[in-house]
Amino acid sequence: MADRSPSLTRNPFTAEEKPAVSVAVEHLSKSFGALQVLKDVSFAVEPGEIFVLMGPSGSGKSVLLKHIVGLELPTAGRVMVDSHDASSERTREQIRMALVFQAGALFNSLSVYDNLALYLREHQVANEGGIREKVMRALQILSLENAASKLPAELSGGMKKRVAIARALVMEPQLMLYDEPTSELDPVMGATISEIIATLKDEFHVTTIVVSHDRDLALSIADRVGILMNGQLIHVSPPAALRDPHDPRIDDFLNPQVDLKNPRFKKLEI
């Protein structure tokens, strides 16, 4: 965010009590029936790191994220979060993970305020006064104070994404996962969301995994980038190494060329 207000450093969402966690994906394979979606995927994410996982549609990115939060079970291999198996109930109780879904997954009948308060009320994290403080703080961080009483249907796409992030933030997560946080947004809002992700990581030292095919996001905020193609992790490096990729598969993905001489375009007469 452009204005890094000092209030950020004073807010209650610090990871002091619960430190950032590491994530280790170890030889993870996943099949749905005959379809093998993940093929022996291994990588590790350090506490407080931003790891961006890129890859074409259908390459298995969302399925991989679901394994990290324990929503899918591996066919083979495992995912460890701070040395605990991600698929165990106990891990999910002990480690605070927040997944920001692609579509936001807000409750349409609830106001923005109640969408954020829901988790805190369900888990009886605080009394209503304490909940109010946490909710308003999260809304303030995402510049959404004026949207508290609005319904999701009244919000723009960019605001909905910010509400989804604010809702994850009230959980005071040690691990934040984002699925395509900038898809369907214009480039300016996409850049704003990228900055928010980086700011949250800087201020709260939260381990962050972002799934995206937004090249600008990856190059601007990632500590490291992984590229998943057809279920295989074919590359992991700091983003700078992607500016001049040697692997033609990565080059084609990051720098797609449209051949205007292709007969398909003849009809358009351009």
Ligand X SMILES: Nc1ncnc2c1ncn2[C@@H]1O[C@H](COP(=O)(O)OP(=O)(O)O)[C@@H](O)[C@H]1O
Contact positions vs ligand X (CB under 6 A): 32, 35, 37, 55, 57-63
Output the smallest distance, CB 39 to ligand X, in A. Answer: 12
Residue nearest Mg ion (C-beta atom): 62
Q: Which does 32 bind (CB under 5 to 8 A by kind): ligand X, Mg ion, none?
A: ligand X
Closest CB to ligand X among residues 58, 157: 58
Contact of residue 55 among Mg ion, ligand X, none (CB under 5-8 Å per partner type):
ligand X
HSE on the CB side for 133, CA within 13 Å? 9
CB of 151 to ligand X, least distance (A): 28
Cα–Cα distance for residue pair 257/235, rounded to 1 Å: 21
For residues 138 and 151, what is the distance between their CA atoms, to the nearest angstrom? 17
| DSSP 8-state code for residue 31 | E
Q: Which is nearer to ligand X, 62 or 207 (CB)?
A: 62
Minimum CB distance to ligand X smaller for 38 or for 139? 38
The distance of closest approach from Cβ of residue 133 to Mg ion in the complex, given in angstroms and rounded to an integer, is: 34
Q: Which of 62, 87 has the CB closer to Mg ion?
A: 62
Number of Cβ within a 10 Å radius of residue 210: 30
Maximum distance among all Cα pairs of the chain, rounded to whole angstroms: 66
39, 29 Cβ separation under 8 angstroms: yes
Q: Are 210 and 68 in contact (CB under 8 A)?
A: no
> Residue 58's binding partner, choosing from Mg ion, ligand X, none, with beta-carbon cut-off 5 to 8 A by kind?
ligand X
Closest distance to ligand X from the beta carbon of 184 (Å): 14
- Min dist CB 30 to ligand X, Å, is 8
Q: Which residues sit at the interface with Mg ion, rule CB under 5 A?
A: 62
CB nearer to Mg ion: pick between 62 and 192: 62
Q: What angle do CA 211, 212, 213 make, to 5 degrees?
A: 145
Q: Which of ligand X, Mg ion, none does 54 bind, CB closer than 5 to 8 A by kind?
A: none
Distant-in-sequence, close-in-space partners of 181: CB < 8 Å, separation ≥ 6: 100, 161, 165, 193, 194, 197, 210, 212, 217
Q: Which is closer to ligand X, CB of 57 or CB of 146?
A: 57
Please report how the helices 112-122 and 128-141 are oriented relative to each other, as an axis angle in degrees rounded to 10. Answer: 130
Q: Provide the residue type at 185 as one letter.
A: L
Least distance to ligand X, CB of residue 73, Å: 11
